[in-house]
Amino acid sequence: METAVETLSSVTFGFIISGLLIGAIFGFILQRGRFCMNSAFRDTIFIKEFALFHAYLLALVVMLIGSNALNDMDIIHLKAQSFYPLANIIGGYVFGLGIVLAGGCGSGIIYRMGEGQLASWFAVFGFFLGIGATTNGILKPLYDALRGVRIGEPGITLHGIIGGEDITIKWAIIAVLSVVFFLFALKSKPFALKKQKGFYWSVTALLVGGAGVLTFWASEYFGSPGFARGLNFTTPTAEVFFIILTGDAHSKFFPMFDLFGYKVTWASFYIVGVPIGAAISAKILKEFAWKTPRDAKELLTVLGGGIMMGFGAATAGGCNIGQGLTGAVTLSVGSIVAAIAIILGNWTMVYYKFIKPMSDIE
């Protein structure tokens, strides 16, 4: 992902439908499973609840095994991000702070749009403002400075550090990580399925992981030949807004296609499909309702949180999904560091926003 690629071939029916359909499937899963990684990280220290965090770990195991198997069979082609220590750490940390203020992670605020939560609409708008200001506007000098420091070769990975291109080393690392993550997930009793309104957490995890693998394949087959783009919410969100505002997705890394004179990407359709799928799920569960922010303070808080998310995700090279799942499955050092920084940023803001005020009252 070091050079820009532009393609102006006309879109196909499969290009549009696959993007919308997979986005809708993922949005349906997110809403039905209440899967938001802000909640997953927050709940571990705020209410000592680990089920959603274990769902994240289990989804990561599914994607680690499934996507790397497809890559090694030459069905998809994964590319690891480079390690930009300042950008990955600072960007990830700021993103983690922002998701608490915005009331949801990158995927969380977008699927909640489909539930009718207007606060999430403002958070998504702030998300775009942060991305745009960082990659194309007033914050670009800071963005360039932070990403001007790179360690190692492009696309440095855990297995690359240990054994170069040795596939045995890669699968040994995947096996160890998968076993460790699965053992952690066992603490929340993944097989004790309960009858409930939405998906049980372990079912959600398997579906999220499966959707991640499917999106790797579809994003390459229909939209980015030679590179499985996979799940992400940062760049696609920016692409949708840029298409609406300028008619051009302004994609720097992924092929663009012509649609009636507009330059679009596969992921721009996928991201539109997410709130549609969430809305369908919410309607079925009778959970859809237009909800307005309580007051101006909440509105400004979620907007500000969204802007922080945009800056953080653009700088770090992706959001919680883009780095914590899609990037992490490549065993990219940069993605792993960014994901850890996101969690630490989340915990910091949870402490100051929720835990400390409660302890001060006591």
Euclidean distance between CA atoms 282 and 61, whole angstroms: 28
Asked whether residue 7 carries a pLDDT value surpassing 60, the answer given is no
Asked if 177 and 232 touch (Cβ cutoff 8 Å), the reply is: no
DSSP 84: -
Q: Which residue has the higher pLDDT, 294 or 33?
A: 33
Q: In whole angstroms, how far apart are CA 351 and each of 101, 135, 192, 251?
A: 12, 30, 31, 37
Q: What angle do CA 87, 275, 60 make, to 5 degrees?
A: 50
Asked whether residue 197 carries a pLDDT value surpassing 90, the answer given is no
Task: Of 362, 356, 354, give the one whose Cα is nearest residue 43.
Answer: 354
Task: Of 43, 188, 63, 162, give the one whose Cα is nearest residue 108.
Answer: 43
Asked whether residue 110 carries a pLDDT value surpassing 80, the answer given is yes
Task: Of 170, 1, 207, give the one whose Cα is nearest residue 69.
Answer: 170
Asked if 34 and 285 touch (Cβ cutoff 8 Å), the reply is: no
Asked whether residue 6 carries a pLDDT value surpassing 70, the answer given is no
Residues 89-96 have a mean pLDDT of 98
Check residue 238 and give left, alpha or beta (phi > 0: left; psi -120 to 50: alpha).
alpha
- Quote the mean pLDDT of the chain: 94
Task: Of 288, 302, 312, give the one whose Cα is nearest residue 122.
Answer: 302
For 210, phi then psi, to 5°, come to: -65, -40
Could you tell me what percent of the chain has a pLDDT over 90?
89
**Residue-level pLDDT at 63:** 98
Q: In whole angstroms, how far apart are CA 192 and each of 80, 195, 202, 203?
A: 36, 10, 9, 11
Residues 38-51 have a mean pLDDT of 96
**Residue-level pLDDT at 252:** 84
Q: What angle do CA 312, 339, 293 make, to 5 degrees?
A: 50
Q: What angle do CA 251, 257, 261 make, to 5 degrees?
A: 105
Residues 82-103 have a mean pLDDT of 98
Q: Which two tokens stand for residue 355?
A: 């835990």
Euclidean distance between CA atoms 357 and 113, whole angstroms: 29
Asked whether residue 336 carries a pLDDT value surpassing 80, the answer given is yes
Domain coordinates in residue numbering, the chain: 13-361
Q: What is the dihedral of CA 18, 19, 20, 24, to 10 degrees?
A: 100
Asked whether residue 27 carries a pLDDT value surpassing 60, the answer given is yes
For residue 262, what are the β-bridge partners? 259
Euclidean distance between CA atoms 151 and 314, whole angstroms: 19
Q: Which two tokens stand for residue 144?
A: 């360039």
Q: In whole angstroms, how far apart are CA 92 and each of 111, 146, 243?
A: 21, 12, 26
Q: Which two tokens stand for residue 329?
A: 């499955």
Residues 258-282 have a mean pLDDT of 96
This prediction's pTM: 0.95
| Per-residue confidence band for 3, with pLDDT thresholds at 50, 70 and 90 | very low
Q: How many helices (H) and strands (E) does the chain have?
A: 17, 2
Asked if 28 and 108 touch (Cβ cutoff 8 Å), the reply is: no
For 291, phi then psi, to 5°, come to: -125, 130
